[in-house]
A and B are shown apart, each in its own frame.
Chain A
Amino acid sequence: MSVLTSTAAERRPARIDFSRPILYGFAAILIVLIVLPLSWLLLYSVTDRAGSLTVENFIRLFSESAFLDPLITTFIIATSSSFLCCAVAAPMGWLVARTDLPMSHVIRALVTASFVTPPFLGAIAWELLAAPNSGLLNKIYRVVTGAPQDEHLFNIYSLTGIIFVISCYTFPYVFVLVANALDRTPGELEDASSILGGKRWYTARRITIPLVLPALIAGALIAFLQAMTLFGSPAILALPAGFHTMTTKIWSLFQYPPKPELAAAASLPLLVLTIILLRAEHMILGRRGYSVVGGKYGTPRLIPLGRGRWPAFALCILVLLNPVFLPYAALLNAAFAPVASHFLTFSTFTLHNIEFVLFELSATKLALRNTVILGTATATIGLLIALVIAYVTARKAVTGHRLLGFLATAPVAIPGIVLGVGLFLSYTRPPFVLYGTLWILLIAFLTISLPSAYQQLQAAFRNIHPELEDASRILGATRLQSLRQITAPLLRTSVIATWCFIFVGVMRELSAAIILFTSETKVISVLIYDLNESGDLGAISVIGIAMLLITFAVVIMVNRIPGFGVTSVRLRT
C-alpha cells in the first residue's frame, strides 16, 4: 500500500508545487505592501527618539492643543460635511432614481463629473472663485452692489469654506449609494403598499425610506471618512486660514525639524477610525434582513412631479453649479487669462499659460515624466497582481485564497497619508533605503490602487461562468490554453479598464505622495500643490484641465463597458 501511495504522489507533483508558491509569493508581496509599513507605524508611535518604549507621544497627542485642536477641527469638518452631503445627495438620488425628473441621465453624468474631479483641484478652483479679495464671485458681488474693495461675500479660507468645498466632492459617494439602493429596490414593493391602501407619503415613510436608510447611513459614514482623511483640500484652504486638520498636522510634522514618532502617533487615530467606520458600513449594508427577496421584478413606477418637474431639475443644476460648473469655469478662465483672478475677455485671451507649462516650467517635464513612469508601472504591476489574486479567489484555485482576498482589500482601510507615513518610516532606513527614489512612490501607489483593481477584476471573473472554462477543458484544452482562448478574450475590456483606472488614480493621488516625494521624484499632483503655494494658478489650471480631460476620457470609455460603470468603482484621492 505504501508503495502505491508514494507513486501516486509522484505522478502528479506539479499541482502541489504550482499553487503553494503562488500563494506564498503573493502573500509575501502583500505583506511587504501592507503589514511592513503599518508595523513600523505602530512601533514608531510607541517609541521615543532613543528607541525605548513610551506612551509619551499619545499623551502629547491628546493633551497639547497643537494636536487636540486639529483633532477637533477634523471632527467638526467630517461631521458637518457628512450631514451636508446627506442633506443634498439623498433627495437628489431619490429625484433621479424614482421620479420623472427631466434629463436625469444628465444629472447622473454631472454627479459622476464631480465624483472624478480631484478634490485638491476643486479646492484650488474655489480659491479662484471665493478668495476674499481676488475671488471672482466676490468681484462680481462688489461690482453689482458697489461695495468697497475690502468687503467680500465669501471667504473660502474658513471652516465653513472647507466644509463646503469638501462636501462638493464628497456628496457623490452618498448620491451613488442612495441612487443605487433605490435603483435596486423594486417598484413592486411600493406598488404592494399602494394596492393595500397606502397613500404615497405613507408608502414612502413605511417602505421606501426604511429600505434606503442603510445605504444612506453607509453613505454618511463614507462621507465622514473621506472628509476625515482628505489632505489636499484642507492643506490648500485651512493653512492660509491659520489652522490645521489631522492630515495637514501630520504633514507638517515632516517639515523641518521632522518629528516622525509624533506623526506616527497622530496617524493611528485616523487608521483606527477608518477601520471602525468601514466595518460599520459593511455591517449596515450587509444586514440580511435588508436584502431584497424573490424573483423577477419590473421597472419601478416613476412618481410624477407634475408642475414641480422643471423646478426640481433647476434645483439639481443649482446644486451642481458648485462642484462642476463654477469651478470648471474658473479653471478655464484662469487657463486663458493673463492673470488668474481677472475675468477673461476677447482682448486678453492668451495662450501664455499653456506655453509656460509646456516649455518654461522646468518642473513640468520632470513631474510629467515621473507621473507617466509611475502610472504605467503601477497600472501594469498592479493589474498583474490583482489579476492573479482575483483569479485565484474567484475560482478558489488555491487553499488560503480567502487570505489573499482579504490582504488585497485591506489597503482600503489605510488612509493615503497614513500609508505615506508608514512607508516613509519603513524605507528611510537600511536595508531598504528607497526614500528619494521612485520605488517608494511605486509601492505607495500599488498599495493604494490594489483594492479597487482587485474588486473590479474579481467582479469580472465572477461574470465569466467557470463552466465556460470547463467546456473548453473537456474538449481537450489545458488549463492555460483555456485561460488564453476563453477567459482572456472575455476579460479583455475589464483588464483595459482596470489599467486605465489605476493610471488615472495615480495621477490624482496626493496625500501619500506629499509625504514621500523629494525634489527629484515630484509627480503632477505634488507639482500642482507646489504651484498653488507659489501662486501660479494659471499654470495649475492648464495642468488641471488636462488631467480632467484624461480622466473624463477614461470614465467615458469605461462606462461604455456593460456592467462596469464608474458607480461601482471607488476612486481614491
Chain B
Amino acid sequence: MASVELQNLTKRYGPLAVVDDVSLRIEHGSLVCLLGPSGCGKTTTLRLIAGFVEPTEGNIRVGDRLVSSPALTLPPEQRKMSMIFQSYALWPHMTVTENVIYGLKLRKLDRDTIRKKLDAILTTTKLKELAERYPGELSGGQQQRVALARALIVEPETLLLDEPLSNLDANLREEMRFEVRRLHDAYRYTTVYVTHDQSEAMTTADLICVMNAGKIEQAGTPEDIYDRPRSEFVARFIGSSNVIKGKNLDDAHISFAGARLRVTGAKLAAGGETAVSIRQHDIRLSKTAPQQKDNVVPATVVRQVFLGGSRDYMVEVADGTQLRAVTGAGEAIAQGSAVFLHLPAEHCRALTG
C-alpha cells in the first residue's frame, strides 16, 4: 500500500525554513490538498515528496519504504510517482501521443499494451482527435489534459499535482476540478494536490492541509476547515469570515462592543483577548431588538448592495469594528438605519491557534 508519510519534514535555504517541521500521513487512495498563499511552502513540500528537493531534516516514507531523508534521497525516477506541473512541462518536440506514451516506453511495455492503454487514456481525456498534434498547437485546456493523460497512463502509486489548473480560464477550471476528482476516484491512487484556490481544494480533497509560513496550520476535512477554523489565519484564508476581537469574560464568553457574546470552540483563558470568527451568512440582521439578550449587538448599516440572490451588508458596531453580513434578498434595510445583529453562539468560533 502506498501511503505517504512525512515525518518532521524541514527544508531550509540558508537560515530560512521554507518547510518547517511538517508531519502528515496520507492514507493510500486519498486525495490531500496542500492549500495556502504563495510562498507558504506548499510547492516545496510537493517537490520534496517528488524527490526533486532533498530535506534538511525529517524523512518521507512511501508505504514502508524510506524515500527521503537528509542522508539519502531516492531520485525521482525511482519513486513510481507521477506529477503534473504548473506549466504542464509538455515536451514541445513531441506529439501528444509521444508525450503520453513516454512513461510506458520507459517501463518497456510491449506495443500492443501501449496502444491499448493509449487508446483508453485518450478516450477518457477526450484527446483522440489531437493525438498527432504538437503541444504548441493546443489550447491551454487541451495541454492540461495531455499533462493529465501523461501522468495517469503509467498508473502511478502516487500522483502529485502542482497548481494544475491555475493556467486555465474560470469555466474550464471548474470543469477540470471535477475531472481531477473523477479520475482519482476511478484509479484510486494516492494524490497530493497543491493549490492556492480554496474552492478547488473544497471540491477535490478528502483532506485539506492549510499551510502558512512553512507549517501546517490546520489539517482536516473540507467541512472541518470551513466550519471549525482553528486559527485566525485559516479563518481569513478560507474567506467569507468576519474576525472580531473581544475581552475574555469567562471560559465561554467575551465582551464585544459592549455586548456579551457566548462563543464555541476551545475554552478561553481567564483575562486576555480572543479572536472570534463568524461567517458572513451566519449573521442575522433585524430592525427590532430580538427577544434574547445574549449575542445581540446593536449596529448601523454603512452600505448595502443587492446581489440578486442575496444582500450584502456592511455594518458598524459601537467600537467602530465593521462586519459584513450576507442575508436573504427580501429584507432591505436602508443605509444609515440602526439594526440589531444576532451572532448565533454556535457560529462564533474562538480562534485559539
| A310 part of interface (Cβ distance < 8 Å) | no
Chain A residues with CB under 8 Å of B85's CB are: 188, 191-192
Q: Is the CB of A192 within 8 A of B91?
A: yes
Chain A residues with CB under 8 Å of B90's CB are: 192, 293-294
Segment with Cβ contacts to A, from B25-33, B99-107, B288-296: B99-107
Q: Is the CB of B52 within 8 A of A289?
A: no
Q: Is the CB of B87 within 8 A of A295?
A: yes
Cβ distance B240 to chain A, nearest Cβ, rounded Å:
28
Q: Is the CB of A288 within 8 A of B77?
A: no
Chain B residues with CB under 8 Å of A207's CB are: 91
Chain A residues with CB under 8 Å of B103's CB are: 196-197
| B93 part of interface (Cβ distance < 8 Å) | yes
A295 to B, closest residue via Cβ: B167
A291 to B, closest residue via Cβ: B136
Q: Is the CB of B79 within 8 A of A289?
A: no
Q: What does the 1/0 interface line of B73-90 toward A look like (CB < 8 Å)?
A: 001111111110111111
Q: How many residues of B contact A (CB 8 A)?
A: 37
Q: Is the CB of B89 within 8 A of A189?
A: yes
Query: Which residues of chain A from 173 to 219 have any CB-CB distance to chain B below 8 Å in the complex?
Result: 186, 188-189, 191-199, 202, 206-207, 210-211
Q: Is the CB of A191 within 8 A of B93?
A: no
| B143 part of interface (Cβ distance < 8 Å) | yes
Chain A residues with CB under 8 Å of B93's CB are: 210-211, 289-290
Query: Which residues of chain A from 269 to 289 have any CB-CB distance to chain B below 8 Å in the complex?
Result: 288-289
With contacts A186-B89, A293-B136 known, is A195 near B102, CB below 8 A? no
Chain A residues with CB under 8 Å of B76's CB are: 191, 194-195
Q: Is the CB of A289 within 8 A of B92?
A: yes
Cα of A404 to Cα of B135 in the assembled complex, Å? 34
Cβ distance B70 to chain A, nearest Cβ, rounded Å:
16
Q: Is the CB of B136 within 8 A of A189?
A: no
Chain B residues with CB under 8 Å of A206's CB are: 102
Cα of A48 to Cα of B88 in the assembled complex, Å? 64
A211 to B, closest residue via Cβ: B93
Cβ distance B168 to chain A, nearest Cβ, rounded Å:
10
Chain A residues with CB under 8 Å of B82's CB are: 195-196
Q: Is the CB of B86 within 8 A of A295?
A: yes
Chain B residues with CB under 8 Å of A202's CB are: 106
Q: Is the CB of A196 within 8 A of B143?
A: no
Cβ distance B101 to chain A, nearest Cβ, rounded Å:
10
Cβ distance A283 to chain B, nearest Cβ, rounded Å:
15
| A314 part of interface (Cβ distance < 8 Å) | no
A192 to B, closest residue via Cβ: B89
Cα of A211 to Cα of B79 in the assembled complex, Å? 26
A210 to B, closest residue via Cβ: B93
| B134 part of interface (Cβ distance < 8 Å) | yes
Q: Is the CB of A189 within 8 A of B91?
A: yes
A185 to B, closest residue via Cβ: B92
Which of A191, A195, A198, A210 counts the most chain B CB atoms within 10 A? A195
B92 contact from A195, A199, A291, Cβ within 8 A:
A291
| B150 part of interface (Cβ distance < 8 Å) | yes
Q: Is the CB of A195 within 8 A of B79?
A: yes
Q: Is the CB of B88 within 8 A of A195?
A: no
Q: Is the CB of B75 within 8 A of A294?
A: no
Q: How many residues of A contact B (CB 8 A)?
A: 28
Cβ distance B167 to chain A, nearest Cβ, rounded Å:
4
Chain B residues with CB under 8 Å of A194's CB are: 75-77
Chain B residues with CB under 8 Å of A199's CB are: 77
Which of B51, B80, B134, B151 counts the most chain A CB atoms within 10 A? B134
B83 contact from A189, A191, A293, Cβ within 8 A:
A191
Chain B residues with CB under 8 Å of A293's CB are: 88, 90, 92, 135-136, 138, 143
Q: Is the CB of B136 within 8 A of A196?
A: no
With contacts A191-B52, A294-B90, A296-B87 known, is A196 near B167, CB below 8 A? no
| A87 part of interface (Cβ distance < 8 Å) | no
With contacts A196-B154, A294-B167 known, is A289 near B134, CB below 8 A? yes
| B67 part of interface (Cβ distance < 8 Å) | no
Cα of A193 to Cα of B52 in the assembled complex, Å? 12
B81 to A, closest residue via Cβ: A195
Q: Is the CB of A198 within 8 A of B92?
A: no
| B4 part of interface (Cβ distance < 8 Å) | no
Q: Is the CB of A195 within 8 A of B77?
A: yes
A294 contact from B77, B89, B134, B151, Cβ within 8 A:
B89
| B50 part of interface (Cβ distance < 8 Å) | yes
Cβ distance B41 to chain A, nearest Cβ, rounded Å:
14
Cβ distance B162 to chain A, nearest Cβ, rounded Å:
9
Cα of A198 to Cα of B134 in the assembled complex, Å? 21
Cα of A188 to Cα of B151 in the assembled complex, Å? 14
Chain A residues with CB under 8 Å of B50's CB are: 191, 195
Chain A residues with CB under 8 Å of B87's CB are: 186, 188, 294-297
Cα of A198 to Cα of B50 in the assembled complex, Å? 14
Q: Is the CB of B91 within 8 A of A197?
A: no
Chain B residues with CB under 8 Å of A191's CB are: 50, 52, 76, 83, 85, 89
A188 to B, closest residue via Cβ: B89
Q: Is the CB of B136 within 8 A of A288?
A: yes
Cα of A196 to Cα of B51 in the assembled complex, Å? 12
| A352 part of interface (Cβ distance < 8 Å) | no
Q: Is the CB of B106 within 8 A of A198?
A: yes
Q: Is the CB of B77 within 8 A of A198?
A: yes
Chain B residues with CB under 8 Å of A373's CB are: none
B86 contact from A196, A210, A292, A296, Cβ within 8 A:
A296
Q: Is the CB of A192 within 8 A of B83?
A: yes
Q: Is the CB of A289 within 8 A of B102?
A: no
B153 to A, closest residue via Cβ: A196
Cα of A301 to Cα of B78 in the assembled complex, Å? 17
Cα of A210 to Cα of B134 in the assembled complex, Å? 14
Chain B residues with CB under 8 Å of A291's CB are: 92, 136
Cα of A189 to Cα of B81 in the assembled complex, Å? 16
Q: List 22 A-B contacts (CB under 8 A).
A: A188-B89, A191-B52, A191-B85, A192-B83, A195-B76, A196-B77, A197-B103, A197-B106, A197-B107, A197-B154, A198-B106, A202-B106, A289-B92, A289-B136, A290-B92, A291-B92, A293-B90, A293-B92, A293-B136, A293-B138, A295-B167, A301-B52
Known pairs A191-B85, A293-B92 / 13 extra A-B pairs, C-beta < 8 Å = A192-B90, A196-B77, A197-B78, A288-B134, A288-B136, A290-B93, A292-B92, A293-B90, A293-B136, A294-B167, A295-B86, A297-B87, A301-B52
8 smallest A-B Cβ distances: which pairs?
Answer: A196-B103, A188-B89, A294-B87, A192-B89, A295-B167, A197-B106, A194-B76, A195-B83
